[in-house]
Amino acid sequence: MGELPFEGFDYAAPWFIYTFLGLGVTLCVITCSGHVAAETANGCCLYFYMAFIFLLLMLEAAVTTDVFLNRDWEEDFPADPSGSFNKFKDFIRSNFEFCKWIGLSIVFVQGLCILLAMLVKALGPHQYYESDDDIDPERVPLLKNDVHPTYVVGSPIYGSKSNA
């Protein structure tokens, strides 16, 4: 069997594999919850989806802020003896305009997802909630509170008795 390029080093070399695997699983969960939320128009699921997307946007903003404000952001990463990190930085620097537009379009699509989730929530199945009140309700309950009617409404009716 061939030797791996990270053998003999004192650090866990495949940290990036686990990082991207974790990010992929997280994005799959977010996408699945968004699909279920849109398909069922379930308010709770839509709120979870919007919260996931909002947290993802905040994480992206934190990383971007760290890169722009922290001059020594490269020291946050483990040592890279293969030189791939330097190649990646050179690629980003040489294609900065292209990478900038890709990043902006990703943020735009995430914002659009939050907006569309709010729209689906507003146009959901409880848009015209019926109430016995004379005034319109200010808001719709999160969970539908169905009160089932009783089986017997009046006093029970028994058959006639024979006195024989």
Give the whole-angstrom CA distance, residue 18 versus residue 96: 27
Entry pTM: 0.53
Output helix, strand, coil percentages for the chain, rounded to the nearest 5.
60, 0, 40
Task: For residue 113, count CB atoms less than 10 angstroms from its CB and return exposed for 0-12, middle for 13-18, buried for 19 or more.
Answer: buried
Q: pLDDT by residue (tens digit) across 57-77?
A: 888 888 888 877 888 877 777
Provide the token pair at 147.
């009160």
164 residues of the chain, pLDDT tens digit each: 455 555 555 555 566 778 878 888 888 888 887 888 778 777 787 888 888 888 888 888 888 888 778 888 777 777 777 777 788 888 888 988 888 888 888 888 888 888 888 887 777 666 555 555 556 556 666 666 666 666 656 666 676 666 65
